[in-house]
Structure 1
Amino acid sequence: MASPAPAQTATPALSKVQQDLIDGSFAARALRFGSFTLKSGRISPYFFNAGELSTGPLISTLATGYAAEIAALGVQFDVLFGPAYKGIPLAAATALALHREHGIDVGYAFDRKEAKDHGEGGRVVGAPLKGKRVLVLDDVMTSGKAVRISVDTIRAQGGEVVGAVLLLDREEVGPDGVTSTVEDLRSFLAHEVVSLLKMRHLITWLEKRGDTESLQAMNAYRQTYGIKHT
């Protein structure tokens, strides 16, 4: 007997930040629809490359979204941590947006791919992490490897990870076919993991746009790999 399809719900409305972020990402070709092979081997009908969000207006919209999500989350923290390399501008811009838009003043830090053996040396740049509560930023989580490496780095520096904020949650099950990478990370951290965008928001955007072909492909992919949600 075939397994039951994942439970689906009506697609949610988009906030202004979500609408602007998806519009801008699509225009910049950071968000593309078609056929893309993921590291997992799955053939995805969409692909998101945060590295293409490389203009002032786009990074401003992105930082505003991160800052609003963090402020709503209400977690107490001292430092934002952005994994190299894409997380570096995310952490810097979000720290600025938190200060300007929410009156929340925190430091930011990031790691190097390789430890520096001259000058100030070390693996981590920016605000000290020792004895600090740290919130990790990431873009699109696939395996969760980047965030887990960040957690190890932060703990090695004497910091405490108190959560993670993502740009996009793909809302799909992992290799076990049951839980998602985000759910696994939430259990691993024992803290909240939230995101600005979810796959369901991209589907809402396609519905509004009237892109029937991409919408059908997205819904078919979600039926096969989507997590159950209510």
Structure 2
Amino acid sequence: MEWKKEFIDFLFKKKVLKFGKFILKSGRISPYFFNSGLLSTGKDTVKIGMFYARAIMDLNIKFDMLFGPAYKGIPIVVSTSIALKNQYNLDIPYSFNRKEEKKYGEGGQLIGGDIKNKKIIILDDVITSGISINHSVKIIEKENSKISSIFVLLDRKEKKETNLYKINHSNNQKNYKINSIITINDLFFYLSKKEKLRKYANKLVEYHKKYGSF
């Protein structure tokens, strides 16, 4: 879709996507690297919120709240909530967790709206170990709420390392499907259409043959 191309253009412009040789946390040598931490200006934050909002609305997901895992999920849920209001006139509350529970003042682990008995979308940038997402799942289910979807910016579609198609929550054996703004397949297609970038597409294909989940 055109807006996915726009999103990848945006990532290249901000140098979030880089090509070369990068050692990942898993020890794998990847031909590309995705660093969402570079999206740190007001304009960037607004754009990211718009892309998330568009992706959510395109999938026609039923939800009434957003949740962002600390820390990178926090600006994402704020900007997405604003975008949903500005672009779709949906006034959606959000919540996010603290890394450590607050022991004074109002106390507690959560900031934002009440998450009890809600249909919630979890938003994060990418998934590495899945620890923060699983922690969020545990928090949400404890409040008798339903997880409508989990969204990330990029799905690398790699086997064993992260399993980005679903989160297997060990406490209840439920599987939660991961949605993304773009996948590695979208990136393949984009690169293959650009003559100067086609060589990177070939490297991604080789890498995916070795580590791709399908």
- Note the C-alpha offset of 1:190: 4.2
1:161 to 147, 150, 154: 147
1:199 maps to 184
Q: Secondary structure at the match of 2:160?
A: coil
CA–CA distance in 2 between the matches of 1:216 and 1:182?
22
Question: What is the aligned-residue identity percentage?
Answer: 38
2:97 to 111, 123, 148: 111
1:185 maps to 167
2:70 maps to 84
Structure 1 runs not aligned, ≥5 long: 1-14
CA–CA distance in 1 between the matches of 2:42 and 2:57?
22
Deviations 1:190-216 (A, max 9, x none): 454311010112222222332243222
Deviations 1:42-99 (A, max 9, x none): 1111111211111233222221121111112222222100111111111011111112
1:46 maps to 32
TM-score (norm 2): 0.88
Structure 2 runs not aligned, ≥5 long: none
CA–CA distance in 1 between the matches of 2:180 and 2:113?
24
Does the Cα contact within 8 Å between 2:49 and 2:80 map onto a contact in 1? yes
Aligned length: 210
1:6 maps to none
Does the Cα contact within 8 Å between 2:166 and 2:175 map onto a contact in 1? no
Q: Which runs of 4+ in 1 moved over 6 A?
A: none
CA–CA distance in 1 between the matches of 2:138 and 2:21?
34
After superposing the two structures, state which structure 1 stretch, 137-146 or 203-212, moved more: 203-212
Q: How does 1:1-230 map to 2 (within 5 A)?
A: 15-174=1-160, 181-185=163-167, 189-209=174-194, 210-228=196-214
Alignment-mate amino acid for residue 121 of structure 2: L
1:10 maps to none
After superposing the two structures, state which structure 1 stretch, 162-171 or 148-157, moved more: 148-157
CA–CA distance in 2 between the matches of 1:118 and 1:68?
38
CA–CA distance in 1 between the matches of 2:144 and 2:164?
24
Alignment-mate amino acid for residue 201 of structure 1: D
Does the Cα contact within 8 Å between 1:168 and 1:198 map onto a contact in 2? yes
Higher relative contact order (CA 8 A, sep 6+): 1
